[in-house]
A and B are shown apart, each in its own frame.
Chain A
């Protein structure tokens, strides 16, 4: 696998949220605003890249590997939790409003299955550099996925798009012009399940169409 393939596999082919369905809790909970998903993406990126790096550094040396492997789960948990505490402290100091909105979901990155899943499935038996590329790709793929969800939720739910802080695109005028009002339901918990379900269905429909096309080609 080339570096490029390794990096981009997290975007579509092995997207952590839509294909392997990991890390769904924050993806549904914090996606009420576009800005939140960017913030969450940055946090996950930092934690995932560094945790992949640290895990592969710990397991790359055969001697240390033999010591770590039997107790790898507690070792990984401590590594990941340390990184998450760093993120939590930095966010509290420099990004106070985001820290308040994301709330309990920042410490909960510890138990986000993506981080642990990548450590166990990839970083544990690959070289440090490869693991960093994999972590970066996976984190960006996850960020992209939650950005898509929050795009629909914020747009349909409140008629705005908050990019970052005060930078906000207000589309309420367009809504009134067409003669519809924002549907408040989408920024409530209901909307999370709804949007996620529909996006998954669209992806499944595309997959089905692809398979049908392949099947008809084979039949010819």
Chain B
């Protein structure tokens, strides 16, 4: 149990997917401008990463390893993720138009979000068993959601601040991210 807590803490703070592993930065810059959109994207990422990790982990361990085709993982994983996102989009559109309105526009972007494929690959590279995989791939996207939300709040305030002209837009966002990364790097000493 303590090992699972350690994995959860590491995934959420120490190896935060955005600020120390640099996965999913594109969406971080693009979508993290507003609180509402960052929340929508974050929640969509949480759902997709958990489902995609369970699927890819199962396929890797129960299909690919017995067949000794582990080296095909990159191709298989990206196809599984693309198919999953597509199916999710169709299902959500069919059964919950309200949810589709909130998350729909972010779903197609998620296929090319490196965090999804990254977490799927890290799961099998680290040789996690099922509970470890589940904890890791739940807390990684939660960390993503957390940082993305904080970041969006700060950026909303910065919109109103007198930023030097050259720093407007992405440069100041990067400086903000750097300061957040300094904060998060301090968690490294906890475990």
List A residues at the B interface (Cβ < 8 Å): 21-26, 28-29, 73-74, 77-78, 81-82, 84-85, 88-89, 104, 107-108, 110-113, 116, 185, 188-194, 196-198, 200-202, 204-205, 208
Q: Does B22 contact A (CB under 8 A)?
A: yes
Q: Cβ of B22: which chain A residues have Cβ within 8 Å of it? A: 24-26, 28-29, 189, 192
In the complex the two chains form, what is the Cα distance from A81 to B111 in whole Å?
Answer: 13
Determine whether the beta carbon of B117 is less than 8 Å from that of A110.
Answer: yes
CB distance from A53 to the nearest CB of B (A): 19
With contacts A25-B25, A190-B185 taken as known, whether A84 is within 8 angstroms of B74 at the C-beta atoms is: yes
A113 engages B82 (CB within 8 Å): no
Known: A29-B22, A201-B171, A208-B165. A104 touches B185 (CB 8 A): no
Q: At the interface, yes or no: B65 with Cβ under 8 Å from chain A?
A: no
Separation in Å of the A21 CB from the closest CB of chain B? 6
The tally of residues in B whose CB lies under 8 Å from a CB in A reads: 44
How near does chain B come to A199, taking the closest CB pair, in angstroms?
8
Q: Which of B73, B112, B165, B175 is A194 in contact with, Cβ under 8 Å?
A: B175
Q: Nearest B residue to A200 by beta-carbon distance?
A: B171
Which A residues touch B116, using CB under 8 A?
111
Q: Mark B112-123, 1 if CB is under 8 A from A, else 0.
A: 111011100110
Find out whether the CB atom of B171 lies under 8 angstroms from the CB atom of A198. yes
Main secondary structure, interface of A, reads helix
Tell me the complex Cα distance, A188–B182, Å.
9
User: Smallest CB-CB separation from A206: which chain B residue?
Assistant: B166
Would A73 and B178 count as touching, CB distance under 8 A?
no
Question: Could you say which residues of chain A place their CB within 8 Å of the CB of B174?
Answer: 193-194, 196-197, 200
Nearest B residue to A194 via CB reads B178
Q: Which chain B residues lie closer than 8 Å to A24 at the CB level?
A: 22, 25-26, 29
Is A74 within 8 A of B79, CB to CB?
yes
Residue among A81, A88, A200 making CB contact with B170, cutoff 8 Å: A200
The answer to whether B122 touches A78, judged by C-beta atoms less than 8 angstroms apart, is no
Q: How far is the CA of A189 from the CA of B22 in the complex (A)?
A: 8
Q: Is the interface of B mostly helix, strand, loop or mixed?
A: helix
* CB neighbours of B168 from chain A (8 A): 204
Tell me, in angstroms, the Cα distance from A194 to B165 when the chains sit together: 17
Query: Taking the complex as formed, is B21 at the interface, i.e. its CB lies under 8 A from any CB of chain A?
Result: yes
Chain A contacts of B165 at CB under 8 A? 204-205, 208
Query: Which residues on the B side are within 8 Å of A202 (C-beta)?
Result: 166
Q: In this complex, what residue of B is CB-closest to A199? A: B171
- The reply to whether A28 and B117 form a contact with Cβ atoms under 8 Å apart is no
Taking CB atoms, residues of chain A closer than 8 Å to B21 are: 29
Closest partner residue, chain A, to B178 (CB atom) = A193
From A88, A104, A192, give the contact of B125 (CB < 8 A). Answer: A104
Question: Which 9 pairs of residues, A with B, have the shortest CB-CB distance?
Answer: A197-B174, A193-B178, A29-B22, A205-B166, A201-B171, A81-B75, A200-B171, A107-B74, A194-B178
The residues of A that contact B122 with a CB separation of less than 8 Å are 104
Contact B167 A78 (CB under 8 A): no
Interface string of B48-78 (1 = CB under 8 A from A): 0000000000000000000000011111001
**Taking the complex as formed, is B172 at the interface, i.e. its CB lies under 8 A from any CB of chain A?**
yes
Contacts of B113 in A (CB 8 A): 111
* CB <8 Å contact, A21 and B170: yes
Q: Contacts of A21 on B, CB cut-off 8 Å?
A: 26, 29, 170
Is B181's CB within 8 Å of the partner chain A?
yes
Task: Check if A73 sits within 8 Å of B82, measured CB to CB.
Answer: yes
